[in-house]
Amino acid sequence: MNPKTRLLTPGPTPLPEKVRLALAQDMIHHRKAAFQGHMQRVQTGLKELFWTSEPVLPLTCSGSGAMEAAVTNLFQPGDRVLVVEGGKFGQRWRQICERYGLEVEPLQVEWGCGADPAAVAKRLSADGPFQGLLVQASETSTGVLHPIRDLAQALQGHETLLVVDGISAVGVSPCPMDAWGIDCLLTGSQKGLMLPPGMALLSLSQRAWRRVEANPRPPFYFNLLGERQRNAGNQTLYTSPVSHIFGLEACLELVLESGLESLYRSQWALTHMARAGIEAMGLSLLVRDCYTWGLTSVRLPEDIDGQEVLSLAASEYGAVLAGGQDHLKGRIVRLGHMGYVDWGDVLAGLSALGRSCQRLGATIDLQAGLAAGLAAYEHELSTFTLENHTQPLAP
């Protein structure tokens, strides 16, 4: 019998049954009252998830589309922006900005390390002003969690907008938009939101909206002013992603019924389960300190090919993991544990990873890894407090 397949990548992620059933509902028209009721309920839940009083706009696109929408609405050709470039998706911020004629100043960060708020403050003083600072909350290519709260602190007193790609952070780790002073927060549907790919979500602060309102040439499709106007009537500017809205409504019900603290407690505990298990079995971690929740990157021994590990893990043990990108391809394996994933899934993922490495010649103490992972999970689950991770900026 073939092993049960477990999707343990940093997106797409598994879909809960309630979400799958919601996605299977019959189609309705996106300009009628029934759809507006769904949108109203979704909007209420999204504001809670984003921790904001501002509207959260659904966009029919991937997360990269929301990144492009942020750039084209908030900035104009010739604007100077500082881009934190510490991975594949930091590079994407730079590429989008350059495509639209912005003057990009990269803040180079070693892959596997977090951005230094002091370095940002120094760049602002020495090379500013900048119209924006663009950064990932969670750099998915490495598993780094950039210090968004501290970066916001470094921007205080400047007109620089803080634009945050939360694609693998929203619904995974706390990122309170209003309390931390984030000007633009965006995400995609296929990560912590437990939906198929194809929808993005974006919210702006009031000062970011003023920047959008002053834009003399807003884009046609990604017209956020138009989206905000339609959102006030519980619609979208163009054809709505109706089935995704159904699924999102179900997802928000699941998350908010148990509460955000329960969600974050689980994600935090699963992250420590993965990290402890990996180290105890004899493998090493790419990210030591500023590690993201929901994703763990594993350094492989020099004589082990990451592509072979992925192939064995999937074919022999049913665990679909992700590999590295660019110069990390073949050198790391990324174990995803965000969204609809529990301790049993992570245990299976650790086992598949360890056994695959063993078969390729690595020395692995699998039993020690599994035991350490379970112990870490139980400890963090019982000691987690949300307040330790969501304190707002000092006045």
Q: For residue 1, tell me if it sits in a domain.
A: no
- Percent of the chain whose predicted confidence (pLDDT) is above 70: 99
Asked whether residue 274 is domain-assigned, the answer is yes
Q: How far apart are CA 388 and CA 243, in angstroms?
A: 36
Instruction: Confirm if 368 and 271 have CB atoms less than 8 A apart.
Output: no
Domain that holds residue 341: 6-12+260-390
211 in a domain, yes or no? yes
The answer to whether residue 81 sits within a structural domain is: yes
| pLDDT attached to residue 393 | 67
Residues 197 and 74 in one domain: yes
pLDDT in tens, 264-287: 999 999 999 999 999 999 999 999
Q: Is residue 352 part of a domain?
A: yes
Residues 79 and 207 grouped into a single domain:
yes
**Burial bucket for residue 96 (CB in 10 Å: 0-12, 13-18, 19+):** buried
Question: Predicted confidence band at 335 (pLDDT cuts at 50, 70, 90)?
Answer: very high
Could you tell me if 105 and 150 lie in one domain?
A: yes
Determine, yes or no, domain membership for 272.
yes
Query: Residues 37, 171: one domain?
Result: yes
DSSP 291: B
Concatenated DSSP letters for 137-154?
SEETTTTEE--HHHHHHH
DSSP string, 56-71: EEEESS-HHHHHHHHH
253/353 same-domain check:
no
For the ranges 1-5, 87-91, 95-99, 174-178, the lowest mean pLDDT is seen at 1-5
Residue 298 and residue 284 in contact, taking contact as beta carbons nearer than 8 Å: yes
What is the domain-level CATH number for residue 115? 3.40.640.10
Q: In this structure, are 228 and 310 located in the same domain?
A: no
* Number of CB atoms found within 10 A of residue 358's CB: 16
Does 355 have pLDDT greater than 90?
yes
| 241 and 203 both lie in a single domain | yes
Contact 224, 69 (CB under 8 A): yes
Tell me which residue has tokens 């309705």: 28
Q: Is residue 35 part of a domain?
A: yes
Of 305-309, 340-344, 390-394, the poorest mean pLDDT is in: 390-394
Residue 14 in tokens: 């598994």
Q: How many domains does the chain have?
A: 2
Q: pLDDT band for position 394 (50/70/90)?
A: low
Cβ proximity of 375 and 287 under 8 Å: no
My answer on whether 66 and 78 are in the same domain is yes
Domain end, chosen from 257, 276, 304, is at 257
Residue where a domain terminates, one of 223, 240, 257 = 257
Q: Do the annotations mark residue 334 as ligand-binding?
A: yes
**pLDDT confidence of residue 213:** 98
The C-alpha atoms of residue 302 and residue 283 are separated, in whole angstroms, by 11
pLDDT at position 104 is 97
Same domain membership, residue 219 and residue 268: no
**Which tens digits make up the pLDDT trace of 105-139?**
999 999 999 999 999 999 999 998 999 999 999 99
- 203: β partners: 56, 185
Could you tell me if 43 and 124 lie in one domain? yes
Task: Give the residue from 236, 257, 278 where a domain finishes.
Answer: 257
| Same-domain check for residues 303 and 187 | no
Predicted confidence (pLDDT) per residue in 30-88, tens digit? 999 999 999 999 999 999 999 999 999 999 999 999 999 999 999 999 999 999 999 99
What Å distances lie between residue 168 and 94, 190, 302, 360, CA to CA?
18, 9, 28, 31
219 with 196, same domain: the answer is yes
The CATH number of whichever domain residue 353 belongs to comes to: 3.90.1150.10
